[in-house]
Structure 1
Amino acid sequence: MTTTPEQTRAIIRWGHQHRRMLRSRYRRQFVAYSATRLLAAGRDWDLVETLATAAGEPYLVKWIPAQTSEFQFFWFKFYGMARHEWEPEYPVTLSHGSVSHNALMLVDSGAELSLISLEIGELLGFRLADGEILSDGTGVGGEIQYVTRAVDLTIDGHSFKAPVAWLQTEITDVPLLLGREVVFDLFNIEFIQAEERIEFKWRGTPA
């Protein structure tokens, strides 16, 4: 379901206000919510979207990781306890082959690549090829292995293909991350933390 910028901000605001409840009750599940209530939750991404659509309200879908501690260590970045608890999320459609899903992604200017967990990649239909070589990454969170996949992303009606790091290491607190590669070339992105919102302005396809 398409949402206006105003509806998107209102829905994200509801999610922020109820994030502790969502994190405690719906770990390792997709949750769909409107600006006023939770509409659906579960492990089946398709079913959650179907139930939310049937409710007839503008909604967004978010993946709740298995662990959501105040300190989260990732190989690409460290998230500490911030004074401002706003999470810079934005609705994105992820597509691979015949599979297409809408979800909130955490916009991370510090991540070179967009990133998805092992579990989310499998739900999108990714599979490792026989003998495929894994890439290694090292950072403050330790060592990980990943492979790169091309994913069709749609943001504010603009569709494009971008590389995504698909983790092959089991990390239970990985969100859907929207990184710089391709995305930041196609959009001017402004973080307005005081108003808890992000603005994506389309630049067009680079020459």
Structure 2
Amino acid sequence: MKIIIGSDHLGINFPEKLQDMFPDANIVKAFTEEEQLKHIKNSTVYFGFPSKEIISKGENLEWIACPGTGIDKIINNSKELRRKTIITNAPLAHVTPMAEHVVGSMVGLAHSFSKLFEDQNNRKWDVEQWNSKIVELKGSNVCIYGYGELGKSIAKKLKAFEMNIYAIDPITGTSKLAITKALVIQEN
């Protein structure tokens, strides 16, 4: 079984660590498409985000393991996939950093961080211009569209800001226009 590690998503030393754990496996570190093309024909497993060309030349691919959530690029190349090829992803891999990014962006927007940083770089210290211009998140309403793992993680983090949190989840059938029917989040 030949396994191509086509992504440094888990660190540049991941292939070596994997080889140490499974000494009988034929693990190939191939972070560039050129390297991948050299090995793909006889490989049965590909770890990463393969291009259309890699997929089309992977005649023996049985499994594509994506280290992230989205597999849309692979599915978009589905005409190139063989029926026997299994595609897996890691849907929870990025929940925490994505939720933290969302919350950080909200704080940055509410407190005008970009303008503050610009003024700081220009050595401008006009505090009067900020009177009544910073929005407090406490007591503000936020509606999260999609209440899967990411939505739940965002809601949990926003509770620390004492915000009023609502969610609309299209999976459960709640209409995205039905803001008045949004679910009030009461989780601990």
Normalized per residue, the structure richer in strand is 1
Structure with the greater alpha carbon radius of gyration: 2
Scaled by the length of structure 2, the TM-score of the pair is 0.25
Which has the higher relative contact order, 1 or 2, with Cα contacts under 8 A spaced 6 or more apart?
Answer: 1
Scaled by the length of structure 1, the TM-score of the pair is 0.24
